[in-house]
Amino acid sequence: MRVKIKDYSGFCSSVFGADSLLASFPELRSFGVDVEQMFGGFYYIMKNGRAVSDSAFFSEEEMRFLEEVI
């Protein structure tokens, strides 16, 4: 699924490493990134069918600051 930020201030204040995620994935604010739920229910950022990093993920709780892009 592709997601982007729907609540910027909430994202910045509540998502662990939000500043690093935004620096690495500025598309989070525009057309979004692909995520896939893996490894204990975390949503990992994906490219070409693979997780981009073992530290680029969102928890279930953090997903509330994102919206699915259709």
Q: Residue 3 and residue 27: Cα distance in Å, rounded? A: 10
Q: Which two tokens stand for residue 13?
A: 């204040």
Domain holding 56, by residue range, is 2-68
Which residues are CB-contacts of 41 (< 8 A; sequence separation ≥ 6)?
Answer: 59, 60
Q: Residue 50 and residue 45: Cα distance in Å, rounded? A: 8
Task: Tell me what pLDDT residue 40 has.
Answer: 85
Contact (CB, 8 A) for 7 and 61: no
DSSP 8-state symbol, 66: E
pTM: 0.92
Task: Tell me what pLDDT residue 25 has.
Answer: 98
Q: How many domains does the chain contain in total?
A: 1
Q: Among residues 36, 38, 39, which one has the least CA distance to residue 47? A: 36
pLDDT tens, position by position, 9-39: 999 999 999 999 999 999 999 999 999 999 7
